[in-house]
């Protein structure tokens, strides 16, 4: 089996089309079945057209052989997003009882070069499932995430591996390292939530610890939406809700009194007001009047890009209070 680098430009001059290879003379290539006059005709290279003509032929024959396996490697290198190529390659690997660890090495090279390709990650996941061997997976995802810390496919693969094989040890430390590098890394915040949710759960002690952790980072960079979103997620597990956790309300009010007008700070205060109004009041700090003033400030100055949303929120608050007032009058 040739190495993945065989498709590099340095080896192009040595490449021989399949139609010119003696070992393929017994195969009749199958042309792509395009319509007579396509709206946009794709100008395939000779190498691509030749490879896929022979690929269609072996699939049609259901050939399981070493040469078919080598053909799928060329086809995958030419178009690694082709699902059929990978599925057929897996059929051949099983049929020939090939060394799947060697296949892991092969797909790793492709993933490193094309890490935003769903099909290559899926192929690797299937191999790991067959082998029941996740030993290299965390290292691979860390290699990819070192280049792109928010790579969705790498995070999905990492979460699957960690949860399936119970590899949670050290994960919070890894996430903390990523957040130290970039506190705005929403993927790392999401991973933190994922780890806790699947291990200790949000017990009272854990919740208290995580609130401290989040408030520290929110204060350091108040314009960081990721930390504020994580805080909201934490408070879903707090029976008091958004507006009744003393530590959070004190932090929010102190930050507001300091003159900070981060749209995310104002947004959480609006939601605290909405929560208190819905519960029938109970705290003068979180009144309808304050919510209206903050919505107007967000609309006019602090979050103009989402002005329509805040106008909707303002209308909802006013409508809600009118409904409650009407219900109260009717009850009397």
DSSP 304: G
Residue 107 is inside which H or E element, if any?
Answer: helix 100-113
Burial class for 166, CB neighbours closer than 10 Å (0-12, 13-18, 19+): exposed
Instruction: Write the Ramachandran bin of 316: left for phi over 0, alpha for psi from -120 to 50, otherwise beta.
Output: alpha
> What is the gyration radius of the CA atoms in the chain, in angstroms?
29
Tokens of 293: 């003033």
Active-site residue, from 25, 62, 116, 163: 116
Instruction: Write the Ramachandran bin of 246: left for phi over 0, alpha for psi from -120 to 50, otherwise beta.
Output: alpha
CA–CA gap between residue 234 and residue 247 (Å, rounded): 13
Sequence length of the chain is 332
CA–CA gap between residue 314 and residue 81 (Å, rounded): 46
Give yes or no: 166 in active site. Answer: no
* CA dihedral for 262, 267, 270, 272, sign (positive or negative): negative
**What is the full DSSP assignment across 163-218?**
HHHT--TTHHHHHHHHHHH-TT-HHHHHHHHHHHHTTT-S-HHHHHHHHHHHHHHH
Residue 14's CB: how many other CB atoms inside 10 A? 7
Among all residues, which ones are annotated catalytic?
116
């Amino acid at each position: 089996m040739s190495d993945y680098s065989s498709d590099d430009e340095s080896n192009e001059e040595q490449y021989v089309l399949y139609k010119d290879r003696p070992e393929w003379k017994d195969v009749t290539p199958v042309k792509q079945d395009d319509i007579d006059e396509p709206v946009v005709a794709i100008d395939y290279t000779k190498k691509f057209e030749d490879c896929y003509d022979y690929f269609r032929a072996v699939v049609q024959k259901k050939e399981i052989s070493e040469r078919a396996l080598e053909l799928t490697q060329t086809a995958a290198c030419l178009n690694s997003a082709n699902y059929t190529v990978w599925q057929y390659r897996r059929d051949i690997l099983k049929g020939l009882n090939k060394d799947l660890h060697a296949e892991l090495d092969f797909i790793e090279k492709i993933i490193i070069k094309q890490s935003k390709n769903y099909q290559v990650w899926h192929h690797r996941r299937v191999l790991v499932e067959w082998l029941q061997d996740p030993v290299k997976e965390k290292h691979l995802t860390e290699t990819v995430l070192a280049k792109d810390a928010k790579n969705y496919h790498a995070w999905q693969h990492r979460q699957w591996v960690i949860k399936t094989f119970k590899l949670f040890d050290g994960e919070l430390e890894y996430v903390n390292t990523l957040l130290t590098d970039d506190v705005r890394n929403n993927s790392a915040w999401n991973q933190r939530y994922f780890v806790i949710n699947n291990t200790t759960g949000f017990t009272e002690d854990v919740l208290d610890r995580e609130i401290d952790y989040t408030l520290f980072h929110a204060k350091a960079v108040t314009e960081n939406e990721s930390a504020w979103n994580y805080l909201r997620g934490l408070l879903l597990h707090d029976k008091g809700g958004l507006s009744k956790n003393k530590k959070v309300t004190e932090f929010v009010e102190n930050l507001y009194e300091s003159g900070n007008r981060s749209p995310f700070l104002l947004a959480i205060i609006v939601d605290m007001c909405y929560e208190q109004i819905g519960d029938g009041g109970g705290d003068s700090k979180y009144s309808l009047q304050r919510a209206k003033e903050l919505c107007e400030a967000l609309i006019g100055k602090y979050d103009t890009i989402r002005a329509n949303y805040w106008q909707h929120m303002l209308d909802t608050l006013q409508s809600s209070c009118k409904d409650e007032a009407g219900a109260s009058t009717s009850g009397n």
